[in-house]
């Protein structure tokens, strides 16, 4: 089963909320021609300039796998 873009956005919002304040989900988008692949664009406050984080996820992956991947990337870029 493939998750919808709103499903991916919801998972991204949950991951951002879990990782603390100052993380904003800007977009969830499919690159041109992509069906099962989505990019999540987030901004992270805490630096002189907000950090843009782009995480690619497979929409056919289980929700928990996507949530975990998003959290791991947010932790990687946390100041």
Q: For residue range 9-61, list pLDDT tens digits in order.
A: 999 999 999 998 899 999 999 988 888 999 999 999 877 788 899 999 999 99
DSSP track, 26-50: EEEEPPTT-SSEEEEEEEE-SSSSP
Q: Which residues contact 73 (CB under 8 A, 6 or more apart)?
A: 53, 55
Q: What is the pTM (predicted TM-score) of this model?
A: 0.90
Domains and CATH numbers, the chain: 5-77 (3.30.160)
Phi, psi of 19 (to 5 degrees): -85, -5
């Amino acid at each position: 089963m493939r998750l919808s873009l709103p499903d991916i956005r919801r998972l991204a919002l949950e991951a951002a909320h879990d990782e603390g304040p100052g993380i904003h989900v800007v977009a969830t988008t499919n690159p041109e021609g992509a069906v099962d692949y989505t990019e999540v664009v987030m901004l992270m406050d805490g630096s002189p300039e907000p950090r843009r984080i782009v995480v690619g996820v497979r929409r056919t992956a289980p929700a928990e796998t996507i949530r975990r991947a998003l959290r791991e990337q947010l932790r990687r870029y946390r100041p």
